[in-house]
Amino acid sequence: MASTHFISLNFSLLKNHLIHLSLTTFSSTTTAIKLGPSKLHGHHHRHRHHQQKGSEASICDDFPPDFPPPDTNTTSILCVDRNGCCNFTTVQSALDAVGILSQRRTIIWINSGIYLNKPNITFQGQGYLSTAIAWNDTANSSHGTFYSGSVQVFAANFVANNISFMNVAPIARPGDVGGQAVAIRIAGDQAAFWGCGFFGAQDTLHDDRGRHYFKDCYIQGSIDFIFGNGRSFYERCQMTSIANPVPAGRKLINGAVTAHGRNSKDENSGFVFVNCSIGGTGRIWLGRAWRPFSSVVFAYSNMTDVIAPEGWNDLNDPTRDQ
């Protein structure tokens, strides 16, 4: 099976470099991650400093009654407070404290306030076949496809170089419900990826929203493996289908490269592929019109006979055939 070969091959290549993360999330300027400070740093969250002279009041007394949340074996908590009532005063410092090899879900709890530290983050790897971030959530296990990403990026100006993003969940069988498994979700503006790999099957690369640039990347999947409503440019990228081989003589189409989510003609979004290549197994469409005004362009690109002669699928809605 192509799925078994894919997983065993890539785990052997990455066995010395694979990083297992339960959650890697970079969100807006007011989001944080937290690793049980009391255990990590030996401090209690509710520090009583900054107390005004002659007053019983303290600015550190405004924590909600349900904080800290109950600790479990699967949750670590880090606390951020701009007034110094926690172990961290900035979101970035809490992010820096998250254990790289932590097997526990990390919550960054952020107290009320505006945090003016913008996370401009770069992931620098040593080659997409040598360095990877992987996890195995699915739409079923994470309450929806959008939340199944091994990595989720919501902040602007994210950059990745020479690294892979993988979802190694078992590949869903045809007709299975809830088997979609995202390797990375990109929902921040002005993200860029150079020499990166994206490995999965259905819904590998969630190019959700924002302006994104991909160059010299390898993208692997089977069904809608580049999807979303991004405004993105793909240059010199290689797309490889791992859909099941189609027996000779059968008119079966069992996959698609793209599924763009443009809902109206007023939306300024679309996928553009220039000087790219498409190969692999199965017989797949260039794209399925996920939304009424899906917009995808392939230019100056090479395609093997893995691409069905029909090219595109309108999801049984002729009005999307434009």
Calpha distance 272→295 (Å, rounded): 9
Catalytic (active site) residue 207: no
Contact at 8 Å (CB) between 113 and 131? no
**Structure token digits, residue 82:** 């701009």
pLDDT for the residue 73: 57
pLDDT for the residue 33: 28
pLDDT for the residue 189: 94
Q: What is the pLDDT of residues 245-270, one digit of tens each?
A: 999 888 899 999 999 999 999 999 99
Question: Residue range 124-132: average pLDDT?
Answer: 93
* pLDDT band, residue 123 (cuts 50/70/90): confident
Tell me the CATH number of domain 2-20+120-320, given options 2.160.20.10, 3.10.450.710, 3.40.1710.10, 3.40.390.30: 2.160.20.10
Report the range of poorest mean pLDDT among 33-47, 48-62, 244-258. Answer: 33-47
| From 61, 224, 266, 314, the catalytic residue | 224
Residue 90 burial (C-beta neighbours within 10 Å; 0-12, 13-18, 19+): middle
pLDDT for the residue 268: 96
pLDDT at 122 over 80: yes
Q: What is the pLDDT of residues 295-313, one digit of tens each?
A: 999 999 999 999 999 999 9
Q: What is the pLDDT of residues 157-172, one digit of tens each?
A: 899 999 999 999 998 8
- Bridge partners, 207 (sequence order): 186
Q: Is the pTM of this model over 0.75?
A: no
Question: Residue range 16-25: average pLDDT?
Answer: 31
Which positions ≥6 away from 294 have C-beta within 8 Å? 259, 260, 261, 262, 287, 288, 320
Q: What is the pLDDT of residues 69-103, one digit of tens each?
A: 666 555 677 888 888 888 888 877 887 787 766 66
- Domain residue extents for the chain: 2-20+120-320, 30-117
Quote the percentage of the chain above a pLDDT of 70: 72
Of 195, 244, 278, nearest to 2 by C-alpha is: 244
Of the spans 25-39, 140-154, 222-236, which averages the highest pLDDT? Answer: 222-236
Calpha distance 136→318 (Å, rounded): 36
Calpha distance 253→241 (Å, rounded): 12
Amino acid identity of residue 44, one-letter, is H
pLDDT for the residue 299: 98
